[in-house]
Structure 1
Amino acid sequence: MKRNKIYTIGLLALATLTATSCSDGFLEVTSPSDFPIEEYYTSKEKINEALVAAYAPLHWFDYGTTSNYNALNLSSDIMSDDMYPNGGNDADCPYLQLAFNFSATPLTDINGIWLDCYSGVKRSNDVIKYLDWATEMSDADKNVILSQTRVLRAYYYNLLWKYYGNIPFFFENLEAPYTAPQLKADEVYANVIADLEDVIERGALKDEWDDTNIGRVTKPMAYMLFTEMVMYQNDQTRYAKALGYMQNIIGSGKFGLLDNYADIWTEAGEWSKESIFEINYYSVNGGRAWDNGLGAGGTVNVRLCGPRGFIAKAGDPYEGVVEAGWGFGYIPPKSIRSFEDGDVRKDVTGFDIWEHGDAEKMQDAGWMFRERTPGSYYSNGKYLPMAGGNAGCTGAGDMNFNNNFRVYRYSETLLYAAELLLKTGGSASQAADYVNQVRNRAGLASLSSVDQDDILNERRHEFMGEGKRYWDLVRTGNAATVLKAANDELNFRTKDWDVHNKYLPIPQDNIEADPNLEQNPGY
């Protein structure tokens, strides 16, 4: 049974979300009562309501404000070499198909992340504003909430920065005409990383929360976010600090690797010793529905990315265990073959539809739109629609699976620490030890020494299907070499990655709403 976790609790009336980051409706605030909001947000209880509302957009990436499927692992991994969009046909969810082929347009792009993140930024700014009115709170309680809120805001801006680059930026919510200066990507980074750095150094972040509040921001989560941003920016001036943060996590003794890699992806494996941050979902009383995608409850991502039309073979271990999905987010066969012999992560990552499924029955049902080649269809085994995974929901069954989304795991701490040791001239043997801890858990022999390529290879196989690969290729300068159409053995990708593809196009409605916004180059 899942523990109680912070989640949205029907607080959408706290702020309207009817438009974009630069238009009137998005930034309007609706009073939660008949008296001014400055008279409402005076207590810790009321401020916490606003804080929970600021957490809420974390849960919307799978299906949120735009009714598009923008789960963070799916929307980035399809731009790597380790995931196909697939679906019902080549036009199913065209924004995913086009992003995969580096052909996104301002009218057809992954725009849900834009709106969900700006919803989070706006709500975070609200909390910071409301704290000035909280006369019935101690300074200590204010600092704890303020620190969470600033890290949340940094997390939302981190995604906007990585996906879109040159974006409207504001730390205080806007007044008419509701437009913000558009900063270059480097300027966005400079502002966000400095703010995040300040939050961490102030020392108000908690190391951990009790079970009732699990899912709130912690100091280790902020360490991971800081390091992710520093590594993506290749910010050498902050490598030493990032390494110190990683070693703080390692040295705390509060985290570790689970013995069995497969256990990470079970319900029992949620918030285990390996977890640093997860986005919580639950099925029991989950009320999300097709007309209430922003409601509290479970996730639709596992149904979306489960094996399309799956029917298990009689007697197969997955008979009655894995349900059918809609066939998005498949892992290419070439990626599965890239695992070393004996790597236990291979079978966990790639759920072999042909091995476990009844091919004849699935073919009769028209289960897949592309050529049915044995050995070529692997669902993302980390996020499968399990029988009973949506039990007890009150909304739509497809939208209320209880699979938490794993954002940061301890294995990533180890691999970041190893990479940073090499970058800062630290202990090469310690770097190898960190990598070997991850390899040994995977059933692989230790390496006597490691270089950055070894670490990146380990990251690829440790996190395949988790939304890390594309960013690694971009930050290391390998995207143009790896992401070529000729490297796709099934010939689904027809265009090569180009430098302008580092950023997606800014959604067209935002360009139209603010004449001062400039579209990203190449679009």
Structure 2
Amino acid sequence: MKSLKLYILLILFVSITFSCSEDLLDIDNPNTPTVEQGWKTEKDAEMGINAVYNMFYKPSTWTRWIYFRYDLASDEGHSTSPWVELADWTRFRYNNYNFWDGNNWHWRDFYKAIFRANQVLAYVPEIEFANEANKDRILAQARFIRALYYYQIALLWENAPIVLEPSKPQDEPLQRTEAEIWAQVEEDLNWAKDKLPDQWDDANVGRATKGAAKALLARALMQQGKLPQAKTELDWLVTGDGKGYYGLVDNYRDNFTHTNENNKESVFEIQFSDVNKGGDGDDLTASMGFQRTQFFAPGGIGWQDGKARAWLIDEYKKELTKDGEYDSRLLYNIFYKQAYKDFPDAANNDTLVYNRPWNNNAWGNETFIKKYSTYYYRDREDYHAPNNFRFIRYADVLLMYAECLNAAGQTAEAYTYVNMVRERPSTNLEKLEVAHPEIGMDQALFAKRLQMERSLELCFEAVRWGDLKRWGLLTSQAGIDELKTRDIDFNNFVLQRNHRLPLPQIEVDNNTNLIQNTPY
């Protein structure tokens, strides 16, 4: 009898054990929901679009490496990094098409961001919202960010796949032309611009707005030479209904610190923070800090991998302000040996890290990129700078508008918008027609001067490479010859080759529908 009871107990124990095990296997992990489990509620949709924004915080995008592509490869900057391959990718020496930090990582994470946007666009339409306008705003943000990444793909590689649905590992998407990618950018932004709000409430500051979509669309149109269409989009921000939302801040430096973020000059900016100081993954402690400053600061303060070209200093000094002083943008943008002689009150601006004796042994006569560094409040750089990156500033909008007006033969009106930038209180330069009377109403001379005006205002803001490409300086021998006079790295530039990057070779090898860019 006793043995029978033990047997029954054993059977019950085994049954319960297996039953519990099967139940445990059916328990959902709330931290890793499947597609079937997610995308059910408005909250799911909000989390989905936040995951798209999260791709801004990857080293391959606007946290770190993108500035090597746009600032250091342009004539404004260069690299002397001891990591030779990293520096070579700013010198047009592409020996390894799979160089992770210069090519593959960008490609992977741009398409990863697009994948996340595609998930929102595929699944959110099926979610029931209490207010359909809120659904449209989420979809419009996804379209805006997808367009933003396809913009980079068209600019860097030109020919690449267009993926508009959530992709699967076995997919081999077709290669599309640069023109087709630009058309997709236009389609997304045209859809988004009228569904995004003019402004967001305080809890949502930093999300894409109507003005951001129109400004990015204008950039895309200008890259294609469609300046009349670009002007139409910019009209809303400059002379139309959106004009009241934007303006220039009095102090130029306020655009690059963490104490004056999302001001009236911001059209779209990436929200960085030093709250989390984790790694680069997708966990809750992942870093949201701006890492560029660590790589561009002088040795002993940072890694000094990226530096400014000295010709910019000479250009700033060619004109004095209305008060007979040097342009303060030079002080805010570049750290160089003579700065404190040129700006006697510099100590009032450089309160900490850069307000020290010049390190002759370590720095010599080097010129360092100062814009976006945190010299104004602390004595070091790290991987967690809190200052936002201003992706599109209103000053950029005004200068784009002037470029469009001049191209349309409205040069007299174009002066107005260049002068708004030049006469900012902290810049305080003479009107362009006073400082450069030789230009007159000559469209070609005005356009050439505007190229320099854009660099003096927007240097090291990741726009120069696109500008050089738009103006044809990267696709003509005359353009390359001009760039060589400012940047010796252009002696390595091969015409009809280096105006775009090679496709990552591993992508070509794994996708039978991809053909490597020629003549790589």
TM-score range, shorter chain: 0.7 to 0.9
Deviations 1:186-212 (A, max 9, x none): 111112212322322xx2211111222
Contact persistence 1:124–1:153 (CA under 8 A):
yes
1:49 aligns with 47
2:78 aligns with 84
Q: Distance in 2 between matches of 1:327 and 1:249?
A: 43
1:341 aligns with 319
2:461 aligns with 466
Asked if 1:435 is matched to 2:449, the reply is: no
Q: Matched residue of 1:115: which SS?
A: helix
Q: 1:504 deviation in Å?
A: 0.5
Contact persistence 2:45–2:124 (CA under 8 A):
yes
2:276 aligns with 286
CA 486–50 in structure 1, closer or farther in 2 if over 3 Å, else same? closer
Deviations 1:140-184 (A, max 9, x none): 211111111111110011111111110011111234621111101
Tell me which structure has the larger Cα radius of gyration: 2
1:423-502 equivalence runs, <5 A = 423-425=407-409, 427-441=410-424, 442-448=427-433, 449=440, 451-479=446-474, 480=476, 481-484=478-481, 487=484, 491=488, 494-502=491-499
Contact persistence 1:484–1:495 (CA under 8 A):
no
Q: Matched residue of 1:345: which SS?
A: helix
Q: 1:224 deviation in Å?
A: 1.0
1:389-408 equivalence runs, <5 A = 398-408=382-392
Deviations 1:93-145 (A, max 9, x none): x2342233353641223332212211110000001112133125432211111
1:413 aligns with 397
Q: 1:420 deviation in Å?
A: 1.1
Q: Matched residue of 1:338: which SS?
A: helix
1:6 aligns with none
Task: Select between 481-490 and 205-214 the one with higher mean Cα deviation.
Answer: 481-490
1:112 aligns with 105
Q: Percent identity?
A: 26
Q: Distance in 1 between matches of 2:496 and 2:517?
A: 12
Q: Matched residue of 1:467: which SS?
A: coil
CA 485–99 in structure 1, closer or farther in 2 if over 3 Å, else same? farther
1:157 aligns with 150
CA 140–341 in structure 1, closer or farther in 2 if over 3 Å, else same? same
Task: Select between 110-119 and 241-250 the one with higher mean Cα deviation.
Answer: 241-250
Q: Distance in 1 between matches of 2:487 and 2:407?
A: 36
Contact persistence 1:53–1:123 (CA under 8 A):
yes
1:181 aligns with 174
CA 63–472 in structure 1, closer or farther in 2 if over 3 Å, else same? closer
Q: 1:511 deviation in Å?
A: 1.2
2:140 aligns with 147
Asked if 1:70 is matched to 2:68, the reply is: no
Q: Matched residue of 2:269: which SS?
A: strand
Name which of 284, 303, 309 aligns with 2:294.
Answer: 303
CA 248–205 in structure 1, closer or farther in 2 if over 3 Å, else same? farther
Tell me the amino acid that sits aligned with residue 467 of structure 1. Answer: A
1:19 aligns with none
Name which of 496, 509, 512 aligns with 1:515.
Answer: 512
Contact persistence 1:300–1:398 (CA under 8 A):
yes
2:309 aligns with 332
Please report the TM-score for the alignment, with normalisation by the length of structure 2: 0.80
Tell me the amino acid that sits aligned with residue 217 of structure 1. Answer: A
Q: Distance in 1 between matches of 2:120 and 2:384?
A: 28
1:422 aligns with 406
Asked if 1:232 is matched to 2:226, the reply is: no
Number of residues of Structure 1 aligned to a counterpart in Structure 2: 455
Q: 1:237 deviation in Å?
A: 6.3
Q: Matched residue of 2:503: which SS?
A: coil
Task: Select between 352-361 and 381-390 the one with higher mean Cα deviation.
Answer: 352-361
Contact persistence 1:220–1:249 (CA under 8 A):
no
Q: Distance in 2 between matches of 1:432 and 1:471?
A: 23
Q: Matched residue of 1:259: which SS?
A: coil
Name which of 251, 263, 278 aligns with 1:260.
Answer: 251
Tell me the amino acid that sits aligned with residue 132 of structure 1. Answer: P
Q: Matched residue of 2:492: which SS?
A: coil
Please report the TM-score for the alignment, with normalisation by the length of structure 1: 0.79
Q: Distance in 2 between matches of 1:497 and 1:171?
A: 34
Contact persistence 1:62–1:301 (CA under 8 A):
no
Q: Distance in 1 between matches of 2:454 and 2:313?
A: 14
Asked if 1:208 is matched to 2:199, the reply is: yes
Q: Distance in 2 between matches of 1:199 and 1:295?
A: 29
CA 75–35 in structure 1, closer or farther in 2 if over 3 Å, else same? closer
Contact persistence 1:351–1:378 (CA under 8 A):
yes
Q: Distance in 2 between matches of 1:140 and 1:447?
A: 45
Q: Matched residue of 1:268: which SS?
A: coil
2:24 aligns with none
CA 242–499 in structure 1, closer or farther in 2 if over 3 Å, else same? farther
Contact persistence 1:167–1:184 (CA under 8 A):
yes
Q: Distance in 2 between matches of 1:222 and 1:115?
A: 24
Q: Distance in 2 between matches of 1:493 and 1:486?
A: 7
2:368 aligns with 379
Q: 1:333 deviation in Å?
A: 1.1
Unpaired segments ≥5 residues, structure 2: 1-27, 321-326, 341-353, 434-439
CA 482–332 in structure 1, closer or farther in 2 if over 3 Å, else same? farther
Q: Distance in 2 between matches of 1:292 and 1:305?
A: 26
Q: 1:34 deviation in Å?
A: 7.7
Higher helix share: 2
Name which of 117, 125, 128 aligns with 1:124.
Answer: 117
Contact persistence 2:257–2:372 (CA under 8 A):
no
Q: 1:470 deviation in Å?
A: 1.8
